[in-house]
Structure 1
């Protein structure tokens, strides 16, 4: 089974059921199924065939759903890309990914007009109109440009579908590339379908659920948890074009949303939102957190404020992405990423690959039908990451006696102070426990005597908070070598488009000041 065929089956049983909501307008499964087939038909008429690569650069819009499912229905490999990437970043992915066509929006066409020479192999630009005034014929790329809406309208409902095999590459997700050029994780039809269906079952997402898609759809967290998993079981996807507390609370109220998925930063913004009349999550039965470790203090405050359970999980692009979630039928352990989901095995190992004892820290490795087939055109990196079918995540973790896993930190973020291991999250949790601290990031910086020392960056909600006060808190709660050498106050911390705090940017800022 694959996502495209499953959508067809879901549509048969839910023809009039709302599949997605965008800008207040509801689209049912029968209409979505027709849009997907007709778009695939038009792609075929343009000369696309199974195995071709097509980039999807559209943000949170119906174009993403129709574009991805339509391309997959024809057997194409879809490469989602962050729309706010620079021209050089987009060009690298398009060229490295052997992209034949680009699905984008009218508001982004000026960018592609300027970078045409950087991506000479792109044959078509399929442009989704956000304004009725836009005309693809007025673009300097008009010979290659086609209207998304007109392709859907002109397509046929009669489509000779190619056979899709489990091992065929459905999507290539390019990782953030914090340590070099981005790597393209090849996810197969089996990878995506298995993870979507297993997540839907594990989190009990059914036809009566209305799931908020406020995370970026191009990111694997949203792609699986807030898009594919709901569509697999006939739920409704509530599309939020761009995250804001206003938008989330409004769509929750208007459509009685039942599930919200977000990263910790989003929960912090929702918690800090000043308009008390709008802060209503009473229809929400489940909140899902991922993308980064959620501070325990934030989790507990959010649950108390909104009277809703927050289930923290874990995943990575290379695993489609979910490997762990706090189970709904057992206790939720604050600070834990939960237990292994259905059909997925997680293990904590030492440097030799041997499983460690309970509560001992080691590297988290993953095995299951969700693990990627490899990195695109990078066999050496693939071999280094996948050993005996186990994916080595690069995350340091531990497992308790009940089988619950805890992410200690990224292996690359480990700070070595005088030979002692300091995991940034442990220090961050202490600082987060202060009532006036809303954001924290801890990094290690070179030190001539100790090798590295700890520096903390914080965002305070109260101007009266001092470094001395936070230092005292740290000294009371942490061993001496873990205490920050310095605590710096910022108005906000640097984040990527999913709201994940970027420690690398903080390191770069410090380096430039020295």
Structure 2
């Protein structure tokens, strides 16, 4: 069994049921299955073969769903790419990923025209219509690379509904996800058909997804969190996707209310924006049976305030691209523990090791490692990096964590973000959690900065909704809640924290800012 065969089951069992809603239009499972089949056939007629690499430069849309499943049905490998990356970032991934065909919106045409001469391996650019009235053919006819360009609608129209794809093997690479790369160039995590199917199936079962669910799909589809939790898992369950092209608190409240959504998946910053939205009405979210948080640690104060206001439970989980991504979730049939990422999901093992590779005692901090059918087969064309992260069958996450006596895991921080103050370990998240409890705080990020006496000192970047809040007042607040060596040596108030496209706070951008300040 794999994503494609399981989806075909859903298409037969729920043929007339909506597979998705997008911009007030719906598409049934039978219609979606037909579009996927035709697109796969259209790709084959272009000369795309099983094993070829196809990049998706697409945001949240039906184009993404059809392209992903159509390429997989043909036996190709899909490389989702953030469409707002710079030309250099996109060019690196397309070249490093040995991409043969690119599928992108017509908005990407100027980018393609700019970089196509440096992308000699690419044979086809398939351009999707932003709107039904978009005239893609007229936009590409005079371009220097027009001979390589085709419209998405024409590729589908040329396809055959009787198309049968090749038999897919469990270990075939289905998707290559390029990690953001905090140091050096991004690495391509190779996820197999087995990896993707097992994680989607296990997540679906763990969260009790079913054909009655309506899942808000607003996380970026090119990101692994959305790919598994808010796209693959719902489609395998016969659920309906409520596709949102972008995150807007106003539009999300309306989407949930109008469609009676049952599941919302988001990152902590999304929950913060929904909580802070002045017109947020708890009645609008009453249809939700479950909220899911991942992508970054969810501050306990934010979790409690959100649940108290909207009367809906948030189940926090944990994952990483290299694990397809989910390894833990707070269970639905046992007590949820605020601050915890939950317990190991079905068929996935998590444990915590010290620097010597030995399992630590309950409550002790060490590195979280993972083993299961969801773990990638390696980084594309990077055997040394693969050997460094997968050792003795265990994926080393780089995250520091602890486990309690009930088997619940708690992320303490990233190993690389640990702050050493005069020989004492300071975990940024612990300081952030303390600051988040202040009623005036909207967002906070903590990191280590150079200190001539202590080696490192704690610095906090804070977003406050009270312009009268002073550094001295916030430091006094911290002194009541933190040991002396954990108290920030400096606090900087800023209007907004830097974030990536998934809404995850970019601590490394703040580190760069600090480094530039020091050098000046």
Q: TM-score range by the shorter chain?
A: over 0.9
1:16 corresponding residue in structure 2? 16
* Structure 1 equivalent of residue 157 of structure 2: 153
Q: Aligned equivalents of 1:151 and 1:133: distance in 2?
A: 16
Out of 285, 305, 319, the residue aligned to residue 301 of structure 1 is 305
1:5 aligns with: 5
Q: Is the 8 A contact 2:35 2:66 kept in 1?
A: yes
Matched residues in 1 for 2:190 and 2:134: separation? 38
Q: For 1:291-330, what per-residue CA distance to the aligned partner results, in whole angstroms no more than 9, with x for missing partners?
A: 0000000000000010000000000000000000000000
SS of residue paired to 1:182: coil
Q: What is the CA–CA distance in structure 2 between the aligned matches of 1:424 and 1:118, rounded to whole Å?
A: 42
Q: Is the 8 A contact 1:68 1:78 kept in 2?
A: yes
Alignment partners' CA distance in 2, 1:5 and 1:65: 15
Between 1:444-453 and 1:488-497, the stretch displaced more is: 444-453
Mapped pair 1:393 → 2:397: yes
Q: 2:53 maps to what in 1? A: 53
Distance 1:136 1:172 in 2: 30
Find 1:262's aligned residue among 266, 270, 273.
Answer: 266
How many residue pairs match? The answer is 514
Query: TM-score with structure 1 length normalisation?
Result: 0.99
Deviation, 1:277, is 4.8
Asked if residue 363 in structure 1 is aligned to residue 367 in structure 2, the reply is yes
* Kept after mapping to 2: 8 A contact 1:362/1:397: yes
Q: What is the DSSP-based 3-state SS (H/G/I as helix, E as strand, rest coil) of the residue aligned with 2:113?
A: helix
| Partner in structure 1 of residue 117 of structure 2 | 117
- Partner of 1:445, secondary structure, is strand
5+ residue gaps, structure 2, are none
Q: Contact 2:282–2:310 (CA<8 Å) still a contact in 1?
A: no
Secondary structure at the aligned position of 1:88 is classed as: helix
CA shift at 1:144, angstroms?
0.8
Q: Distance in 1 between matches of 2:203 and 2:282?
A: 30
Contact 2:290 2:312 in 1 (8 A): yes
Q: Structure 2 CA distance, aligned partners of 1:382 and 1:116?
A: 30
Alignment of 1:397-416 (within 5 A): 397-416=401-420
Once residues 287 and 49 of structure 2 are traced to their aligned partners in structure 1, the CA distance between those partners, rounded to angstroms, is: 44
The answer as to whether partners of 2:441 and 2:463 remain within 8 angstroms in 1 is yes
Q: Hey, what does 2:102 align to over in structure 1? A: 102
Q: Comparing 484-493 with 269-278, which one deviates more in the overlay?
A: 269-278
The within-5 A match list for 1:256-405 is: 256-277=260-281, 280-405=284-409
- 1:456-506, CA deviations, whole angstroms, 9 ceiling, x for partnerless residues? 000001111111111111111111111100000000000000000001101
* Contact 1:250–1:278 (Cα < 8 Å) also in 2: no
Distance 2:393 2:116 in 1: 40
TM-score normalised to the size of structure 2?
0.98
Separation in 1, partners of 2:174, 2:260: 33
Give the Å deviation of 1:133.
3.3
Structure 1 residue 37 corresponds to structure 2 residue 37: yes
Counterpart residue number, 2:236: 232
Of 247, 252, 263, the match for 1:248: 252
In structure 1, C-alpha distance between the alignment counterparts of 2:164 and 2:29, rounded to whole Å: 21
